[in-house]
A and B are shown apart, each in its own frame.
Chain A
Amino acid sequence: MTAPVRPPESLTEPPTPLTYPGSSSTAEVPTSLASGLTCEVCGAAGPLEVAAACGQCLGALDVAYDLGPLVGSDPVALLGRRPRTLWRFRELLPPIDRAVEEGLAVESSPLRRARRLGELLGLDDLWIKDDSVLPSGSFKDRPASVAVATGLGRGFTAFGCASTGNLAAATARSAARVGSPCLTVVPRGLPAAKLAPARRYGARIVEVRGTYDDANRIASLVGERLPIGFVNVTLRPYYAEGSKTVLLEVLEQLSWTPPEAVIVPLGSGALLAATARAERQVTSLGWLDRSPGGGLRLIGSQPEGCTPIVDAFHRGADRTEPVQTPTTIAESLAIGDPASGPAALRAIRRSGGVADAPSAGEVTDAIRAACHREGLWVEPAGGTVIATARRLRASGVLSRSDRVVLFLTGAGWKVPDVGIEAESSLPSLVLDPRRFDADEIARWLNGRDDAPGEARAW
């Protein structure tokens, strides 16, 4: 493996040539329209480089684009023959080495009509964007892939992250794909199944006796000492861009006609903020086929026990008040001090959306409903989103005919025990094969009168 390289720190230092392990190519994909970094707080502009914070005010940095060459283009003609991976949107992503594309490709996830779940929720045009099928089991494959691809081009040969579990798996997988070592920093006590993928992909894991915010601080400080590209710290501006591809795929899958609403889980708020950026960009390109007055409402969902963004939304505040010790069953959303909270709040309000916080019971009911009605086992973050759809339909915020897309961002197998109590109350029938009696099974099946939730009658 190549010796570690200290990343450039100077705001004026030119980026190092793009390189990729095992490849002699240093050519950047010429079609990225990224033009630099801008500060989301003070607006200061700078070149594309390794910088997580603004040198003028410490604000977070976003990737800026010069979309001029694409304005008025036809997305169908532009994208038509490209492979169905996130790189099909390369104009709207940071520049990467073309040699990285195949190794760090993340295939598009399905957008499915959810008729049976829609019946339950009272939504006739309900759709599910199912990122649980992505390789590491969550949407985090998208930002991790973009961050690692960009980091390779900026001289990093080792990667890391602070994580509540999903990003650990995604970063470890991307690092494995390019032969780089990976260090993940997580709060101690995550479910074993949540950390298993990162271990399997070969990551070294630091467990912090504290919260995600503690893990995040430690990752930030380690990133100051070691030449590790922490995807959601050191490489955060680029990392965040990968999350735009969720909505970009949805819009393409809906033939560029936006739905009335998307419901997005809120952890750091970065996914919702990226969703808003993606919508602004394709709007400016003229790619959307909108009905007059039709707007895409961005709805954020955060679980009871960790609701800093939802609380700020209902207070009318621009900033969040941190939750020191989150207590929620949706540990992937247990970020008490969300860095992109202000950006998410702005995006929700601009779109005419709302923020909602279902209870733990509503979340587990929603997980069960998705299992029983769609055959889809989602993690609690997904249950949070489904529960919000149910609540907002019941309160009239959503109409029966609204086209609503749920961002279901992670797989349930990572958190196998959440909400399992109801299923555990349906014990298996244990049979003695020497005294097998089919009637006994029939009696047992028909005796499930106390079956909770969505259990079917035989």
Chain B
Amino acid sequence: MVTVTLGSVLRQAALGVDLRRFAEFEGTVGEFLTQISVVGGPRFRQLLFDGDQLRGVLAVYVDGVDIRYAGGAATPVTRDSRIDLIPAVAGGAGF
């Protein structure tokens, strides 16, 4: 099952969004983020994307690995993946 952890600002923006519907997701992390941004609403999408690009101050980890050190938006997500989305305020910043 894909599990997702959101930082508090993202969590507030995604209130009411049931991310469990993506538990069986398989694909790339870019596709995953696009899909959850659609159901998360405009404010949630605004926090994830700047236009079509992932925000530089959003840190995305798949199974504990910063996607910049993996395949970027093409990093694969499997049904067992863990995805962490947190603001890059004290460490990782920029894609």
A interface residues (Cβ-Cβ under 8 A, vs B): 9-11, 41, 51-61, 162, 212-214, 216-217, 219-221, 224, 230, 232-233, 236, 268, 319-322, 324, 335, 337-339, 341-342
Contacts and interface: CB of A to CB of B under 8 A. Distances in A.
B57 A224 contact: no
Given A53-B9, A55-B12, A58-B47, A221 B86 contact: yes
Contacts of A213: 66, 91-92
If over half of B's interface residues share one DSSP class (helix, strand or loop), that class is named, otherwise mixed; here it is: mixed
A61 B57 CA distance: 12
B90 A341 contact: no
Interface string B42-77: 000011001000011111010010101100000000
Contacts of A342: 93-94
B12 A53 contact: no
15 contacts: A53-B57, A53-B89, A58-B55, A58-B87, A58-B88, A60-B57, A212-B91, A213-B92, A217-B59, A217-B66, A224-B7, A268-B90, A339-B91, A341-B94, A342-B94
What band does the interface of chain B fall in when counting residues whose beta carbon is under 8 Å from A? 20 to 34
A228 to B, nearest CB: 13
B34 to A, nearest CB: 17
Q: Which of B57, B58, B69 has the most CB of A within 10 A?
A: B57
A319 B91 contact: no
A79 to B, nearest CB: 31
Given A58-B57, A324-B69, A341-B94, 9 more contacts: A55-B9, A58-B9, A162-B90, A213-B91, A213-B92, A216-B90, A322-B69, A339-B90, A342-B94
Contacts of B56: 319
A320 B84 CA distance: 22
A69 B58 CA distance: 38
B55 A322 contact: no
A60 B84 contact: no
A57 B10 CA distance: 10
Report the 5 A-B pairs with minimum CB-CB distance, sorted nearest first: A216-B91, A53-B87, A58-B87, A337-B92, A58-B57
Nearest to A51: B9
A11 B89 CA distance: 17
B12 A10 contact: yes
Given A10-B12, A51-B9, A217 B57 contact: no
Contacts of A51: 9
Nearest to A53: B87
Contact of A339 (B9, B46, B93): B93
A220 B83 CA distance: 14
If over half of A's interface residues share one DSSP class (helix, strand or loop), that class is named, otherwise mixed; here it is: loop
B35 interface: no
Q: Which of B64, B66, B91, B93 has the most CB of A within 10 A?
A: B91
Contact of A236 (B59, B61, B89): B89
B9 A322 contact: no
A3 B52 CA distance: 45
B57 A338 contact: no
Contact of B92 (A10, A56, A230, A339): A339
B92 A236 contact: no
Contacts of A162: 90-91
A339 B8 contact: no
A88 B28 CA distance: 53
Interface string B7-51: 111111100000000000000000000000000000000110010
Contact of B58 (A56, A58, A212): A58
A343 B91 CA distance: 13
Contacts of B11: 224
A15 B12 CA distance: 18
A339 B12 contact: no
A221 B90 contact: no
A137 to B, nearest CB: 22
Contacts of B89: 52-53, 58, 60-61, 233, 236, 339
A232 B90 CA distance: 6
B5 A233 contact: no
Nearest to A211: B91
A217 B94 contact: no
Q: Which of B9, B11, B12 has the most CB of A within 10 A?
A: B9
A41 B57 contact: yes
Contacts of B86: 217, 220-221, 224
Nearest to B85: A58
A59 B90 CA distance: 11
Q: Which of A52, A54, A60, A220 has the most CB of B within 10 A?
A: A220
B88 A322 contact: no
Given A53-B7, A57-B47, A320 B12 contact: no
Given A58-B55, A60-B57, A221 B84 contact: yes
A137 B5 CA distance: 36
B69 A9 contact: no
A117 B11 CA distance: 53
